[in-house]
Amino acid sequence: MNGMIIGLTGKNGSGKGEIAKYLQNRGFHYYSLSDVLRDEAAKQGRAVTRDILVELGNRLRSEYGPGVLAEKIFSRLDPEKHYVIDSVRHPSEVQVLRRRADFILASVRAPERLRFERLKQRGRERDPKTFEEFQELEAREAQSAASSDQQLDRTITMADVVLDNTGPLKTLHEKVKEVLLEFSKKEIRPEWDHYFIGIAKVVALRSNCIKRKVAAVIVKDKRIISTGYNGTPRGVKNCNEGGCPRCNAIDASGKGLEECLCSHAEENAIVQSAYHGVNIKDSVLYTTFSPCLMCTKMIINAGIREVVYNIAYSLTAASFQLLKEAGVEVRELSVAPAEESKEIKDMMP
């Protein structure tokens, strides 16, 4: 099964908790957006009641943006794990979670009277005791004139799948199983270009240059044959240990380049292939920054047929012209950082 995040939305007593339990028993990690509110209530020494949680949620959305609860959870998600996320109650929360291609929103529904009877059977102390109280609660949570308040009705309309829960649990579980099997057929894998640029971004983390971290990956027949990152030459003190006087002077970008001791990422990738006797003719070079003029000349003379870069370097106009004249194809590939989530730290008192 591909990576998967199942978001759950729906009215009180619809069965979201039962679906969450079912998924947890099948290896899904559980989060609830309400847990963020429970933590906040605990910090303030307040009782955890439904009314207090709703009030806290509305206040936090108003102060920090309507997607704040989802942002808090989103920052904790590991791309290699499956998750079920309960209590999705605002359209902005859905938008945050949809930044992950492996997210789907499931709406769970059941008739109002049936849901009330389930709450009575559940017997929680703070649940509504009469059907009239239950209806009042439903109306308060369904919609609000304030855009930062809980907007359950609008959220439900955004669901990718709807699960009717009017029968036995076994039937509900079978419906969830069908959703999982259908979603598992979808290919949620990066295309080759994004795959190799993504690897280059990881390679860049090995850079020892204090000015900028850059990396290049040379690929042939969809196979990586060489990598390189910028930094001082082999056997020379690392740039971040004082090995390059120019970088350690923290001069303005573009100045004193002729005095820089750091080798560039593309240069290192090409030289490493030569060092190990690897043929790179007709290969593709993926780089996190477009190449400088010096690296451009090396790319052309090494027989590399295509350059794919993520971010344009400010001093590359001549490089682009030279690559074009030499018949080397050049493409820009815009790729967001590996961790696209906007982690909101220390946003709550």
* Catalytic residue list: 266
For residue 307, give the amino acid letter: V
Pairing of strands 284-289, 215-220: antiparallel
Pick the closest to residue 197 from 292, 275, 265, 271 (CA basis): 265
31-55 core/surface letters (b: 16 or more CB in 10 A; e: else): bbbbebbeebbeeeeeeeebebbbe
Cα(first)–Cα(last) distance of the chain, in Å?
40
In this structure, what are the phi and psi dihedrals at residue 314, rounded to the nearest 5 degrees?
-70, -20
Largest CA distance in the chain: 81
The answer to whether 283 touches 304, Cβ cutoff 8 Å, is yes
The SS3 assignment for 118 reads helix
CA-wise closest residue to 6 among 115, 141, 111, 98: 98
244 Rama sector, left if φ>0, alpha if ψ -120 to 50, beta otherwise: beta
